[in-house]
Amino acid sequence: MTWLVTGGAGYIGAHIVRAFLAEGIQPVVLDDLSSGHREFVPEGVPLVVGSVVDEELTAQVLGDYGCDGIAHLAGFKYAGVSVQRPLHTYTQNVTGIVNLLAAARRVGVDRFVFSSSAGVYGTPTSELVTEDTPTVPESPYGESKLVGEWVLRDLRVADPTFRTVALRYFNVVGSVTPEVYDTSPHNLFPLIIAQLRAQKAPRINGDDYPTPDGTCVRDYVHVGDLAVSHVAAAQALSEGRTLAEHYNLGSGMGLSVRQIMDAFRETTGIDFTPEIGPRRPGDPARIVAAADLAARDINWANRHSIQEMTRSAWEAACAHGE
C-alpha cells in the first residue's frame, strides 16, 4: 500500500511519514518546502518538490507512484498571519484541496485523510469541545479548514464510494525522533525553546484570565500520538470501515501556559521567571477537547506526559542547534 503525504517534509507530516513506514505503508512526499525541510524526509522515501495547487503535477505523482490514498497536511497554517494574508491562505488551503481532490478523482484515488484544525471552532463557550460543538472560525485559516471539510462532505454526497475523514488538531508538540522538530516561528514550544537557548526569559501573554493560575489553558498533544491515529485512519479507510466525518485529536484535559513554563523549567534545569505581557487580542481563556470518538475509532490515546512532551521538544531542537 502506498500513500501520498502532502506536506510530508514538515514537522507533523514527517512524523506521519515515519509512522506509515513503521506500519509497512510506503509513503510518497509532495511538499513545496515553503515551511518543510528536505532533511526531514527519511532516506528512501520519494520526495517530489511541488505544490498541491498544481493539479497536473499532483495527478502525475499519484499515478506514477500508484498511490492508494492521500494524507493531506500541506497548507498555510498560521492563523494570526492568515488575517493579513487571506488570499494566500485561501489559495493554499482551499484551492489546494480542491485541485488535489480533482487530481485524485482523475486517477482513481478514493481514500483521503485531511489535516483539519481546532481553529474551526473559534472561541468555544463550552468547557469541553466535542465534535458537535458549533464551528465559528475567527480567522481565514480556520475558515479555510472548515471549507476543506465542506468540500469533502459534498464530494462524499456526490460519490459515496469516496472515503474521507478530517482530523481536527489541537496544539501539537514534542518529537519522536531528534531528526524532526517544530520549526514554527509562532508556536509556543519553539518560542520558549528559542528564548531559553538565547538566555532570555520566555513571555506569557496575559496572566489575568479566568483560569486557575490566570494564564490561558490549552490542549496539548504529542506529535507521535497524532501520527499513530493518522495511520489508523488510513487503515480504516482502506479496509472500508465506517468512520465519522471528523474527529478531535485532543487530550481531554488542559494545561495552562504557566504549567508549560514550569515543565520546561523542570526539563531543562534552567531557572527562569517568565515575563508577563498584555493579552493578545482574540486569545480565548480555555480550549480543551474531548476525544472519545477518536479513541473509539482510530486508536487515539495520550501516551506522553507533559514532561515527555517538553523533554522531547527540547532535545530535538538542541540536536539541530535551534
- The DSSP-derived string for 72-134 is E--S---HHHHHH-HHHHHIIIIIHHHHHHHHHHHHT--EEEEEEEGGGG-S--SSSB-TTS-
- The DSSP-derived string for 12-33 is HHHHHHHHHHHTTPEEEEEE--
Distance CA 315, CA 123 (A): 33
Which among 121, 141, 169, 181 is annotated as catalytic? Answer: 141
Distance in angstroms between the alpha carbons of the first and the last residue of the chain: 36
Strand ranges for 158-205 from DSSP E: 163-169, 171-173, 203-205
CB neighbours (10 Å) of residue 271?
6
Q: Is 141 tagged catalytic?
A: yes
Cα-based distances in Å from 189 to 88, 92, 99, 171, 263: 26, 25, 33, 10, 11
- Per the listing, cell 482513481 goes with 108
- The closest of 58, 16, 61, 63 to 36, measured between CA atoms, is 16
Say if residues 36 and 10 touch (Cβ distance below 8 Å): yes
Distance CA 304, CA 302 (A): 6
Task: Give the active site residues.
Answer: 141
